[in-house]
Structure 1
């Protein structure tokens, strides 16, 4: 297998479409069929974030095979941190401006709103570890950084054989806190590195470190397993969200993050992609995969701006948010709007796609003066 796996590169951008669709709540609240469609899309999309963790762990193992793990982790940590800072620098002003607009419309004290928001944005634990102080969507980046840091520590102490079982143990606790709260009350946040990201990055690391090369002739079997676990995943979520609670799809949409079969679905899909490394090579998808991380960090600000515009239109007497047209437009507008913002940031020199994402005044000045 070559260094580049086109199937994984292709899946990056497809997974990002699913991530955006989760956050835009496609057709949610548009009657029974709208809620049912949203439930199916949301459930199907839950593989996306685990997929990104598995991919990161897989390539971390491959990159550290012939180089110092600590040195490489430091490099990766700097890159992830720069992407996180870039996402915060976009989201924070937009979210703050939105809070000001809403407070003005409601005649609330402006100083109090600004002070409250700035306090929320800079809460240390939420900002540096949980990644949800500004936007809950950005939690993935700190979780990935700390997950890779945990893996690196196992490498340094030569204890990687214990990596997967230990991370699985923490993830089981996370599952109780996320989807199986009816069994155990977990009194702390579990959507983080330790209880979620650590397991999936360890899973990817384990696959690569064991040099597992799924055979192409078995790809149909892996694809079949993916479809099977996808159906089981949908069924498990239906039981958790409706059968056990007595709720109906017409009343609400079950949107708990992850469950047991999420891991099976993600693993089978990833193995299938490894068995077909050239899948998507003749399409634009692998090159589009380069922009997945950029769309991820820019789409919270773009989505918030679009949703705020929808709210203001509703206040002005144009309730567009509950229309089918709005739902049809919101997801592609968020996706392509985020892509345009990311490309624009690169064009003006604020960031470097594939390089640092820390905004640089000097780089912007040099780009503008050309």
Structure 2
């Protein structure tokens, strides 16, 4: 999942460079900021009540105070740093949207300073610190959250930006080479995470689940995959996948709320003696169920004019626009 996020950041940086070659970068950044913010606000409006409801269900099942749970939850929801910058105040899943927004702003800062080529090496320096403090903690301990725009999003966004700004267009004739590199780095990533998770920790494989979000090879895998996709611009055009593109971000921002409801149902069932989490069929059905329910919620929000697919996602704005025009 995180590799997909990082490729999305690279793609966003790539199109950032292409767009500002034909228009004012300030105007483009303003429009992107409005679009990203509308998705983020929509995700928060959906997630906040469902996450609060889920916490209240768990508190009731555990016999804890509902008032205290409500107060602590609302306090964490409005924490300004977590809400605006890290994107983790309500749901950690939504971290990607603020990371994308601030990554744009960091690259834009270098454009304003007149040194856009310096963005990538500076971002790489921050990324190395992020890797050391996040995955290679045996070398460096960072006393603050580092899965954010500065230490991760900035690097991948500036990588895509630099590729486009240098007008490098990977040749289709070398697409097999790029695919081979992608597969090779994917294998190296598995080896890296295995070594970090088990031999270096003195734990046997399978003793627990080690699932970090990134490693050194993550950047290599993401870059090679992105370059391969650039070398095959028509890949998938004859499949149904392009038609799903307009729903991708919407499904992403709705799925935390849907997942919170599913988790609350699971907790309730387990409390009354139905341990569905131990059933294989539950795990097989969870992902497709989450995907299609999120899709249905997103479509319903569009039909009810809460948001507008392909337009604004600030909750209620399409409905207000329709009321004014009517």
Structure 1-normalised TM-score?
0.85
Q: How does 1:162-177 map to 2 (within 5 A)?
A: 162-177=118-133
The DSSP-based 3-state class of the residue aligned with 1:198 is helix
For 1:143, the equivalent position in structure 2 comes to 99
Determine if the alignment matches structure 1 residue 110 to structure 2 residue 72: no
Offset at 1:91?
Answer: 0.3
Distance 2:240 2:63 in 1: 49
Distance 1:303 1:153 in 2: 36
1:311–1:321 Cα contact (<8 Å) kept:
no
Distance 1:300 1:291 in 2: 15
Q: How does 1:197-216 map to 2 (within 5 A)?
A: 197-216=153-172
Distance 1:158 1:68 in 2: 14
Offset at 1:95?
Answer: 0.5
Q: How does 1:319-358 map to 2 (within 5 A)?
A: 319-358=275-314
For 1:300, the equivalent position in structure 2 comes to 256
Offset at 1:71?
Answer: 1.2
For 1:253, the equivalent position in structure 2 comes to 209
For 1:126, the equivalent position in structure 2 comes to 82
1:196 to 148, 152, 172: 152
The DSSP-based 3-state class of the residue aligned with 1:294 is helix
When structure 1 is superposed on structure 2, of 328-337 and 107-116 the one drifting more is: 107-116
Whose RCO is larger (CA < 8 A, sep 6+)?
1
> When the two structures are aligned, how many residues end up with a matched partner?
325
Distance 1:146 1:48 in 2: 18
Q: How does 1:18-97 map to 2 (within 5 A)?
A: 19=1, 46-97=2-53
Distance 2:63 2:53 in 1: 15
Distance 2:232 2:318 in 1: 43
Offset at 1:333?
Answer: 0.7
1:96–1:117 Cα contact (<8 Å) kept:
yes
1:156 to 97, 112, 119: 112
For 2:180, the equivalent position in structure 1 comes to 224
Structure 2-normalised TM-score?
0.96
Distance 1:315 1:100 in 2: 14
Offset at 1:249?
Answer: 3.3
With over 3 angstroms needed to count, the CA separation of the structure-2 counterparts of 1:365 and 1:326, relative to structure 1, is farther
1:359 to 308, 315, 319: 315
For 2:246, the equivalent position in structure 1 comes to 290
